[in-house]
Structure 1
Amino acid sequence: MTIYLIRHTEVAVGRSVCYGGSDVELADNYLAQRLNLTTHLPHSGPDVVFSSPLARCRQLAEDLAMNGQLMPEEVSPPVHDVTLQFDDRLREYHFGDWEMTPWNDIPREALDTWMTDFVNLAPHNGDSFQDVFNRVSAFWRDEVLPLANVEKPITVYIVSHGGVIRALLCLFLELPLQNAYRLHLDYGAVTKLAVQNGTYTVAYINR
């Protein structure tokens, strides 16, 4: 089984605003970034696409499931039938009361306290990184691992968010959760993994 972890493309709110669980719009460069990321995906397309239900991932997942490798003005049917499934467990880290607040407007003391132990501490009404990891792990166990037992080779796309993909990589690589943000992930980044006969391998990260 080959797995591509795909981060959504850039969003319209920019990097200065704290957003995670909020449903924000994509930036105007969506089509260009989509075309760029598909250069790192197989021409044959996926067999299964899992996605966060948030709009910034939903758009990309639907396009990829419908053979979105093509130029925007081109239209073509999928290479084969693709299963597309949206899963709430792939939603981004929720920042609670900080959602949609400029980072500079969040009290410095509150940010510093949270950052000292973001794995276990959560913004008020939000997630801790442990919360994210727990639900991502359940998704992986329930939805992805069973596909490794399918007789034919299968290609899986997981379209999600920076926090979720880092949680998946911590799970895959058995990394301590406090090291998750040492993994740099750009908007529209693709990471390629493989699971075969119980062996886990990483082909590349953040292309």
Structure 2
Amino acid sequence: MRLILVRHPQPDIVPGLCYGRTDVAASAAALSLVTAKLREAGLPGALPVYASPLTRCAVAAGALGAPVKLDARLAEMDFGTWEMRSWEDIPRTEVDAWAADLLHYRPGGGENVLEVARRVAAFRDELRASSLPAALLICHAGTIRLLCSLHAGGGLEQAALRAASSAHRIAYGEVIELKD
């Protein structure tokens, strides 16, 4: 299966906020840039389109003019009480506790990385079982890192840990292609 992964356009919020599962919209300018880039690349073409139901993804997917299947398993991690707080305002002891147990710690009381990995893997497995040759997914950096790590192989915990410990270098609107 061929997966084309697209990170949502830049959200319309101040930089430096933890916004994971918070439903923030993309800026209009960023949305226009990303949709134009995808159309220039011929996307989605005949590909089925799946997206996180969070507005920054769902609106970008809908702007492509193709039918979109929203799936909550593609949503970003829930950071609980850390959501919409400046990363600088989150106590260092909490960030350190997360770094010490990337798989099981619940940042802000939200989800842990292993839970996110389970739902993302369930989506991927269901999609692969559908026998579709390819699909376009518009989702989040965390979701994309997990999909890439699952694609690289190994067990679920190994993939989740690899994704959680990888540097976050996926740009807004970036397109990443995975092929089986």
Calculate the TM-score normalised by the size of structure 2: 0.86
- Which of 57, 68, 79 is equivalent to 1:95? 79
Residue pair 2:2, 2:134 contacting (<8 A) in 1 also: yes
Q: Give the superposed CA RMSD.
A: 1.9
Which stretches of structure 1, 4 residues or more, deviate above 6 A after TM superposition?
Answer: none
Unmatched 5+ stretches in structure 2: none
Matches of 2:38 and 2:103, distance apart in 1: 30
* Alignment partner, residue 52 of structure 2: 52
- Greater helix share, 1 or 2? 2
- Which of 134, 138, 150 is equivalent to 2:122? 138
Cα deviation for residue 164 of structure 1 reads 0.7
Query: Amino acid of the residue matched to residue 27 of structure 2?
Result: A
* Alignment partner, residue 155 of structure 1: 134
How many percent of aligned residue pairs carry the same amino acid?
31
Q: Deviations over 1:95-122 (max 9, x none)?
A: 0011111111111111111122222211
Cα deviation for residue 88 of structure 1 reads 0.8
Matches of 2:55 and 2:2, distance apart in 1: 25
Query: Amino acid of the residue matched to residue 193 of structure 1?
Result: L
Q: 1:171 to 1:112 in 2, by over 3 A?
A: same
* Alignment partner, residue 168 of structure 1: 147
Matches of 1:7 and 1:38, distance apart in 2: 15
Aligned counterparts, 1:111-130, within 5 A: 111-130=95-114
Cα deviation for residue 183 of structure 1 reads 5.8
- Which of 183, 187, 192 is equivalent to 2:177? 192
Greater Cα shift, 110-119 or 4-13: 110-119
Residue pair 1:53, 1:91 contacting (<8 A) in 2 also: yes
Residue pair 1:47, 1:83 contacting (<8 A) in 2 also: no
Say which SS state the counterpart of residue 159 (structure 1) adopts: strand
Residue pair 2:148, 2:178 contacting (<8 A) in 1 also: no
Query: Amino acid of the residue matched to residue 169 of structure 2?
Result: H
* Alignment partner, residue 61 of structure 1: 61
Q: Deviations over 1:49-108 (max 9, x none)?
A: 1110000000111122x1xxxxxxxxxxxxxxx542101111101100111111111111
Q: Deviations over 1:98-156 (max 9, x none)?
A: 111111111111111112222221123301111110000111112x1123x35xxx431
Residue pair 1:25, 1:55 contacting (<8 A) in 2 also: yes
- Which of 71, 84, 94 is equivalent to 2:68? 84
Unmatched 5+ stretches in structure 1: 67-81, 195-199, 201-207
